[in-house]
Amino acid sequence: MVEFRYRDDEVTEQPSVTLDAFLDQSNATAVRLEPDDDARKLIPFLDRLTLIEVAFPKFRDGRGYSSARILREAGYTGELRAQGDVLVDQIAFMRRCGFDSFAPEGSLNPDAVERALSTYDQFYQKAADAAVPVWKLRHG
Amino acid sequence: MKLLTGNELGSGAVTWWTGSGWSIHVEDAVDVGEGGESILHAEEGARRVNAPYIIDAIATPEGPRPAHIKDRVRALGPTVRPDLTLKPADPAAGDWII
Amino acid sequence: MYKYDNYDQAIVDARVAEFRDQVNRRMAGEITEDQFKPLRLMNGLYLQLHAYMLRVAIPYGTLDSRQMRMLAHIARKYDRDYGHFTTRQNIQYNWIKLEECADLLEELASVEMHAIQTSGNCIRNISSDQYAGAAADEVADPRPWAELLRQWSTFHPEFSYLPRKFKIAVIASPEDRAAMRLHDIGLELVKQDGELGARVFVGGGMGRTPMIAPEINPFVKADDLLSYIEACLRVYNRYGRRDNIYKARIKILVHEIGADEYRRQVAEEFAHVKTLGIDPPLAELERISAFFAAPAFDAADVEPDRSDPDFAVWLDQNVKPHKQAGYAIVNISLKPIGGIPGDASSAQIDVMADLAEKYSFDELRVTHAQNIVLPHVAKRDLYAVWQALREADLANANLDLISDIIACPGLDYCSLANARSIPIAQKIATRFADAERQRDVGELKLKISGCINACGHHHAGHIGILGVDKKGVENYQLTLGGSGAEDVSIGKITGPGFDEDGIVDAVEKAVEKYRELREGDERFVDTYRRVGMDPFKEAIYG
């Protein structure tokens, strides 16, 4: 269930297909990436996609963070969803990597999510979000 | 014998299941036999213990003695700082561990 | 040294608040231990053999007297009046309470300290040369680069759930005083056509499968560095093994795909990352570098009075030349004979803080050999410093001698250990207590690990000792010929292991064989490299 969504547009209705299925057929608009899928394979098709779901079967497996950034760096502007073992304490990092919706397996306390997203307002490094890194604030 | 052990959640102190509660002294530990897992889950769920697990021990006149040296160090304290163990005044404490 | 601005302070303060919230949620049962564990690890808090253990970060081993006094205060208020300095230039406290940890971190934050990323599968403390800013052989002070990397790596959103821990070391001299080649990433600052850049090594490490990091790039410019390291990390995050915890470090990836292929993948990723504008302008490195400008040296070049023989011995062994005339680098031994390597009481920590403030431009260093350095002591002050150290039992003149042992906490403190390491260190030091005998043996880096995780760096010991569990009984393997310096090598096992007394005898036999065979001013490791293992094996096993 998509519980936390930070987009203004409509949620896509189409179910996601696997990466292999997507690369086989070209008319799906929603794809699901497993941790060992190469996100770059989607780069030629980004403007056709409204949803890319990145699976986190175990929260300790951090490959999805790289997948997300790679997609945003390639110019993807559709919905980028983290799905699976997503806990409150990963949400802020995931937002910074470009995720804008979350489908956690467990239930998350909305207040805790809100707190997690507002704990930090300074960031050392440039990532996939709009945050201006501290070095840029220092030097303009 | 089987002992159920863990740590106090807030303080981190090493604790042992006594049959009715938790004690920091391994002498108070009881043999949980084959029924340790269910006690473990109940106590962990209620947060009366953190990171619990079951170890082997042998019964001795002084009380249960954990089978593995690591568990004995854990039960008493570091051999190289007797003053920081649970029995700083006991000269035989180090021998019990080793 | 670096001083926080409002941004740095805000980040550390926010972390304290976040951790306090996470602890409260754990105590209230809102998150399980399994969910809480990576969070507390990313804040350096382990559940260890006796209690919670907290590892406080000392970035690239540099701190001032105010921070040192806070470490003493923490030991008194929250722990059992002592701390343990580690092989990654950090400090550990073994008896911390979870319910007090947020308060402790708040106190640390008030002096620009933290425990961020000192554990967990993330980028750990960036380590460096303990003589930085004082050594004559450095091309530049490596610490501004270490600070740049510290900031870049702190709460990096993409690299906080890596396959495994990630350790980076930065040096700037041909002599490697930080075991740089045995890190996941090692950087050596070099000059090319007058420009400062970094030679990049990737894939070193100790542990179960020790490896020396191959060079991946001979020269990365300052304003490409973060993009390049980001590319190195991204390749690792995407392709490092996650199927087996013992095969998850980057050294395994580099070894399995080969350095050439790893270099190629990094180059490809770097070409892409470089377009993202993640590198700060050079002005940021310059801003940081200004904090590391040389202190206002003003002492005349006077030679200390050597008439006190004990002082002269200490002078010759523990005091190293400084690039500035009139000054010297003081090494403070945390290895008293029969003591616990790397441990210091709160009182001793305060003494060192006072000495730093009075005699070393308010600066101290922690070394990966678990000792402390006063980097900028005027020669005219050396005698006064030595007297104060002696009173505090900190003046053992044994730098780099056999009793200057690196030892992990071992089975006395660590739930990962198979054997106790500290008693072995104590026994060996006691066996070789005679100071003249030690000096005659000369440089001998002896390192002890209580388990294969090698936190005692035994692979890099001229003599290394590894504790193992042999059917429930502690047993010790002996290795010879390792080195973590620029002559980097991995130690070789001698043969069957020994019990607690046997290992001490074995070490003594190896040392005596060295004395018998040595030529000229060969160190132990030089003789070993010349004659090979056989003569030593014969001496040890008879």
Residue C484 covered by a domain? yes
The answer on pLDDT for B91 being more than 90 is no
pLDDT tens string A74-94? 999 999 999 999 999 899 999
**C410 with C455, same domain?**
yes
- Domain region containing A70: 4-139
- When CB atoms are compared, the residue of C7, C11, C158 closest to A69 is C158
DSSP codes, C248-278:
-SHHHHHHHH-HHHHHHHHHHHHHHHGGG--
**C324 with C183, same domain?**
no
B7 within 8 A of B14, measured Cβ to Cβ: yes
| Smallest Cα distance from C462 to chain B, Å | 25
CATH number of the domain residue C483 falls in: 3.30.413.10
Locate all alpha helices (DSSP H) within chain A, ordered by sequence. 19-24, 63-73, 88-96, 110-118, 134-139
Locate all alpha helices (DSSP H) within C122-224, ordered by sequence. 143-153
CATH number of the domain residue C59 falls in: 3.90.480.20
Of C86, C110, C175, C37, nearest to C483 (Cα)? C175
pLDDT of residue C345: 98
pLDDT tens string C433-485? 999 999 999 999 999 999 999 999 999 999 999 999 999 899 999 999 999 99
Residue spans of the domains in chain B: they are 2-97
Count of structural domains, chain A: 1
| Smallest Cα distance from A27 to chain C, Å | 28
For residue C501, the chain B residues in CB contact (below 8 A) are: none
Query: Higher pLDDT residue, A12 or C381?
Result: C381
Give the nearest chain A residue to C243 (CA atoms). Answer: A61
Does the beta carbon of C474 lie under 8 angstroms from any beta carbon of chain B? yes
CATH number of the domain residue C350 falls in: 3.30.70.3340
pLDDT of residue C282: 95
Amino acid at A75: G
pLDDT tens string C191-216? 999 999 999 999 999 999 999 999 99
pLDDT of residue A3: 82
**C484 with C524, same domain?**
yes
Quote the DSSP letter at residue C205.
B
Q: Tell me if residue C406 falls in helix, strand or coil.
A: strand
**C239 with C349, same domain?**
no
The last residue of one of the domains, among C76, C109, C142, is C109
- Interface list for A 111-140 with C (CB within 8 A): 112, 115-116, 119-127, 133-139
**C149 with C280, same domain?**
yes
Q: Two tokens at C169?
A: 């070391």
pLDDT of residue C472: 87
pLDDT band at C306 (very low <50, low <70, confident <90, very high): very high
Torsion region of B29: left, alpha or beta (phi above 0 gives left; psi -120 to 50 gives alpha): beta
Residue C398 covered by a domain? no
Mean pLDDT, rounded, for C291-317: 97
pLDDT band at C418 (very low <50, low <70, confident <90, very high): very high
pLDDT of residue A14: 82
C294/C462 Cα distance (integer angstroms): 34
**C199 with C249, same domain?**
yes
Residue C143 covered by a domain? yes
ipTM score assigned to the predicted complex = 0.98
pLDDT of residue C298: 95
Residue C115 covered by a domain? no
Mutation for B interface: C46, C92, C343, C411, most B CBs within 10 A: C411
Which residues fall within 8 angstroms of residue B61, CB to CB, at 6 or more apart?
Answer: none
**C285 with C138, same domain?**
yes
Characterize C236-266 residue by residue with b for buried, 16 or more Cβ atoms within 10 angstroms of its Cβ, and e for exposed.
bbbbbbbeeeebbbbbbbbbeeebeebbebb
Mutation for A interface: C7, C26, C166, most A CBs within 10 A: C7
Whether C and A touch, i.e. at least 3 CB pairs below 8 A, reads as yes
For residue C280, the chain A residues in CB contact (below 8 A) are: 133, 135-136, 139
| Alpha-carbon separation of residue C430 from A102, C383, C413 (angstroms) | 60, 27, 22
CATH number of the domain residue A11 falls in: 3.40.50
**C243 with C326, same domain?**
no
Does the beta carbon of A91 lie under 8 angstroms from any beta carbon of chain C? no
C88/C448 Cα distance (integer angstroms): 15
The last residue of one of the domains, among C362, C391, C420, is C391
Cα–chain center distance at C108: 20
Q: Classify the C-alpha dihedral C257-C258-C262-C267 as positive or negative.
A: negative
Of A2-11, A49-58, C13-22, C510-519, the poorest mean pLDDT is in A2-11
Cα–chain center distance at A66: 10
Mean predicted lDDT score pLDDT of chain C? 97
Mutation for C interface: B80, B81, B86, B98, most C CBs within 10 A: B80
pLDDT of residue C321: 97
Count of structural domains, chain C: 4
Contact at CB, C420 and B77, closer than 8 angstroms: no
| Smallest Cα distance from C332 to chain B, Å | 22
For residue A109, the chain C residues in CB contact (below 8 A) are: 30
**Residue C349 CA neighbour count, 13 Å, CB half:** 25
- The vertex-C141 CA angle with C140 and C143, nearest 5°, equals 140
Mean pLDDT, rounded, for C69-81: 98
Does the beta carbon of A83 lie under 8 angstroms from any beta carbon of chain C? no
Tally C-beta pairs within 8 A across B and C: 67
- When CB atoms are compared, the residue of A112, A120, A138 closest to C284 is A138
How far separated are the first and last CA of chain A, in Å rounded?
41
The answer on pLDDT for C76 being more than 90 is yes
pLDDT of residue A12: 80
For residue B69, the chain C residues in CB contact (below 8 A) are: 411, 472-474
> In 3-state terms, chain B is what percent helix, strand and coil (to 5)?
30, 30, 45
C464/B51 Cα distance (integer angstroms): 34
Mean pLDDT, rounded, for B38-67: 96
Contact at CB, B73 and C49, closer than 8 angstroms: yes
- Domain region containing C457: 406-541
